[in-house]
């Protein structure tokens, strides 16, 4: 079991102004699963993503990642989890504009503080980043800057960057939201291949077309899971 949540809840406000953004969510996600978290705006899916991505902490309940209780971790431990164990992919590619693809991908290695990749020298970081770019089909684009790449290629660079620290899972938030339909299919097929190669993938989306690529669709409404569907 890679992810286990038990009655995970997140509330905002006090007194009569309390908002239950996430309401007692219990969910298990296995290693090598491909899960789509779906729902309309305000359904709780983004709150859930922030909690399992260690970008926020729950008000109550428990969250275990690879058997470790995330809810008792301090800020340094949470930062280490975000750095080493979770690869993030966002709707906006968040690449450094004047930096080559390989340097964009290698950047997280520069800030790694723990683990087997923490003490690589510069050339080793570049070599490792090149391997990840080759994995996403950009082996001929090492020196290209974002301005020299298409939107789909930029998202591939972002996926390679998410992979560079050898994470336990890829957490993708609307990864095709800034792409056209053809390029979206290419990115989703890439995530599917990564999952087939053993990577756990969680995609947060409002699109049922995107969710159809996953092995399971988990639908949120009003902060709760209302449906689980196997594709």
d(CA 45, CA 211): 13
d(CA 87, CA 62): 21
The reported pLDDT for the residue numbered 15 is 73
pLDDT band of 62, cuts 50, 70, 90: very high
The reported pLDDT for the residue numbered 114 is 77
The number of CA neighbours under 13 Å toward the Cβ of 199 is: 27
d(CA 165, CA 5): 24
Q: How far is CA 186 from CA 190, 193, 213, in A?
A: 6, 11, 12
d(CA 1, CA 49): 18
pLDDT band of 166, cuts 50, 70, 90: very high
Looking at 3.20.20.140, 3.40.50.300, 1.10.1040.10, 3.40.1360.10, the CATH number of the domain 33-57+74-230 comes to 3.40.50.300
What is the mean pLDDT of the segment spanning 191-204?
Answer: 97
Strands 200-205 and 224-230: unpaired
The 10 Å CB-count burial string (b at 16+, else e) for 201-230 is bbbbbeeeebbebbebbbbbeebebeeeee
d(CA 147, CA 10): 39
- Helix, strand and coil in the chain, % to nearest 5: 35, 25, 35
Residues contacting residue 18 through CB under 8 Å, at least 6 positions apart: 11, 12
pLDDT tens for residues 18-44?
Answer: 888 999 999 999 999 999 999 999 999
User: Where in the chain are the domains?
Assistant: 33-57+74-230
d(CA 205, CA 219): 10
Residues contacting residue 196 through CB under 8 Å, at least 6 positions apart: none
The reported pLDDT for the residue numbered 128 is 95
């Amino acid at each position: 079991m890679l992810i286990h949540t038990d009655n995970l809840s997140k509330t905002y406000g006090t007194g009569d102004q309390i908002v239950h953004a996430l309401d007692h969510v219990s969910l298990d996600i296995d290693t090598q699963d491909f899960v789509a978290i779906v729902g309309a705006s305000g359904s709780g899916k983004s709150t859930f993503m922030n909690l399992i991505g260690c970008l926020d902490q729950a008000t109550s309940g428990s969250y275990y990642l690879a058997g470790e209780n995330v809810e008792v971790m301090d800020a340094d431990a949470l930062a280490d989890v975000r750095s080493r164990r979770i690869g993030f992919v966002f709707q906006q590619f968040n690449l450094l504009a004047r930096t080559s693809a390989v340097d964009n991908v290698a950047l997280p290695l520069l800030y790694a503080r723990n683990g087997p990749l923490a003490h690589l020298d510069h050339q080793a970081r570049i070599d490792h980043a090149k391997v990840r770019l080759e994995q996403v089909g950009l082996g001929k684009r090492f020196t290209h800057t974002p301005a020299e790449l298409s939107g789909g290629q930029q998202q591939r660079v972002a996926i390679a960057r998410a992979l560079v620290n050898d994470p336990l899972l890829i957490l993708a938030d609307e990864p095709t939201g800034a792409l056209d339909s053809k390029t979206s299919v290419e990115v989703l097929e890439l995530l599917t291949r990564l999952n087939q190669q053993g990577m756990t993938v969680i995609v947060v989306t409002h699109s049922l077309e995107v969710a159809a690529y996953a092995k399971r669709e988990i639908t949120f409404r009003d902060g709760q899971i209302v449906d689980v569907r196997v594709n």
